[in-house]
Amino acid sequence: MKKVLKILGIILGVIILAGLVGFTVINSKGIPTYETNFPDIQVEVTPEAVERGRKLSILLCANCHKDPETGRLSGIHMLDSPPEFGKAYAQNITQDPEHGIGDWTDGELIYLLRTGVKRDGEYSPPWMAKLPNMADEDIHAIVAFLRSDDPMVAADPKPDQPCEPSFLAKMLCYVAFKPLPYPTETIAMPDTNNAVELGRYLAHNLDCASCHSADFKTVNLMEPEKSGGYFGGGNMLLTMEGEPIHTQNLTPDEETGIGSWTEEKFVQVLKYGVKEGEPALRYPMLPYANLTDAEAKAIYAYLQTVPAIKNEVPRTFHDGE
């Protein structure tokens, strides 16, 4: 018996030692780096592309990168990011060549947006949205906007504040969060005459599924439908005051989701943040005012097709989402 206990003690000691070594290595190395293979792409900056890119950038980037004092995309402290991931700071993506992306190539920008890998090979933190399934035309439009003369992207010399990822964030970047594969084929725009197809495209590429599924740690960016609790809500976010707030169930469950909602009600909430005359949204969810009615209706049409999940999520703001 003593011999068995001694062996078990040795095994336990080895496991503890290995865990300590692993913790020390991961914590000291930080976010991993990878080899890069940037595409040789030169984006055409047309008025149409800039307009489309501005719209997408407002929907996807401005909430995290826009400095409220200057109106430029020079980065902010992301107080609403999951606290278990550490301190998050959105980086300067203005045209400043030293502190922003002024000297990045179009290929480097597209590679980052697609794979999550920066031009120095470092994997971007898990809180940055990646766009592996966005149409080439839309990806190029975002880059065209970043190259434009819009005041939001005018050169701003504001230095970046380095992120302070927690051990959990670092560990997940080694075992779960990996660079996404760069597309090997052209990704086409959705059929705008097919409401469900368009809605699926928008719901995925506006990153709705990541927030409104069960947990960021179980989100599948390549195949969003395989995310845990897909659109069933319950994922925890933070308000600007640091208060926890849980995302709502957007599946067609009639009791706990939006199965009993009319199309008009959904559009009013999504575009204007109002439900039955009362405020319906609370930061970090903001109204998507620059979506067209057709786009908002398409998202509604798609959400009505996803599997219903019965998941009652407490409402925390005037019966809002």
All domains of the chain, ordered by start, with CATH?
47-175 (1.10.760), 195-303 (1.10.760)
Structural contact between residues 270 and 225, judged by C-beta atoms closer than 8 angstroms: no
- How does residue 12 score in pLDDT terms, banded at 50, 70 and 90? low
Q: pLDDT value at position 316?
A: 63
Model confidence, pTM: 0.85
DSSP notation for 243-287: -EEEPPP-SS-TTTSSTT--HHHHHHHHHH-EETTEE---TT---
- How many CA atoms does the CB half-sphere of 149 hold within 13 Å? 2
Mean pLDDT over the full length of the chain: 87
Please name the residues in contact with 85: beta carbons below 8 A apart, sequence gap of 6 or more.
Answer: 125, 126, 127, 165, 166, 168, 169
CA distance 2 to 268: 71
pLDDT digits (tens, 9 = 90+) for 109-126: 999 999 999 999 988 876
State pLDDT tens for residues 213-243.
999 888 898 999 999 999 999 998 887 777 8
Residue 166 confidence class, pLDDT cut points 50, 70, 90: confident
pLDDT of residue 28: 53
Cβ neighbors of 16 (< 8 A, separation 6 or more) are none
State residue 17's pLDDT score.
Answer: 43
What is the pLDDT, as a whole number, of residue 174? 79
Please tell me the least confidently modeled range out of 94-98, 141-145, 179-183, 239-243: 239-243
Determine the average pLDDT of the residues in 183-206. Answer: 96
Q: Is 12 helix (H, G, I), strand (E, B) or coil?
A: helix
User: Cβ(106)–Cβ(16) under 8 Å?
Assistant: no
User: What is the residue type of 211?
Assistant: C
Contact between 277 and 221 under an 8 Å Cβ cutoff? The reply is no
